[in-house]
Amino acid sequence: MKTTAAKRAYMVTYNRRRQEERRLEMAGPLQHVADVTAGLLGLVRSPKVVIRPKLRHGTAYRVDGYLTLPGWAMQRSAMYAVAYAVHETCHFVAHGHGSLFRKTEREALQAWGIIAVKYGAVYCTHFETRFGHALNQFGLRPEAGGISGWNSTRTW
C-alpha cells in the first residue's frame, strides 16, 4: 500500500509533536528548577528547558532564551540533574566558566541545598548536600568506588 505525500507529512508532524511532548514531560521538574534559579539570579525571563537525548553536553542559548540538557544527565542522579540545570541557567548571568561564573553557580547551588565540592575542567564533579550526603557525578558515594570499569572521578 502506497502512502500519499499528505499522509507522510501528517505522520512526520504527528511524530514530531509526540517527541516534543515527551521532552516536555522529562523537562517538567527541571523547568521548575530553571524558573526558581532564574528568579534567584534576578533574571527577567526564565529560560525554557529542552532535553535532548543524544547531546554530549548542555548549552545555554542566551539570545533565544532556552537551554538544552543532555538525556544522560537525567540518568545520573536527581542531584546531578538539578546541578546541571542550575549550571546552564547561570550562563544567562555570567559568561564562560571563570571565577565569576563559579561564584554565581556556587551561590545558586547553595540555594538548592547543594554544595559544590570539587570542580573538573568545566563542571562540578563532586557534590554534597547540606545534610552531609556526598555524591559524585554518577550519583554514588565516593566511598563506593564508582561503577565497575569506570573511574569514579571521570568528568564529561
Domain chopping of the chain, boundaries = 23-144
For 10-33, how does the pLDDT look when each residue is reduced to its tens digit (9 = 90+)? 777 777 777 666 666 667 888 999
How does residue 4 score in pLDDT terms, banded at 50, 70 and 90?
confident
The predicted pLDDT at position 42 comes to 92
Give the per-residue pLDDT at 145: 39
DSSP class of residue 117 equals E
CA distance 104 to 82: 15
Res 21: pLDDT: 64
pLDDT per residue as tens digits for the range 108-145? 998 988 887 777 777 776 777 776 666 655 554 444 43
CATH node for 23-144: 3.30.2010.10
Helix (H, G, I), strand (E, B) or coil at 88: helix
Angle among Cα 74, 80, 82 to the nearest 5 degrees reads: 85
Stated pTM of the model? 0.69
pLDDT (0 to 100) of residue 98? 87
The distance from CA 73 to its chain's CA centroid, rounded to whole angstroms, is 6
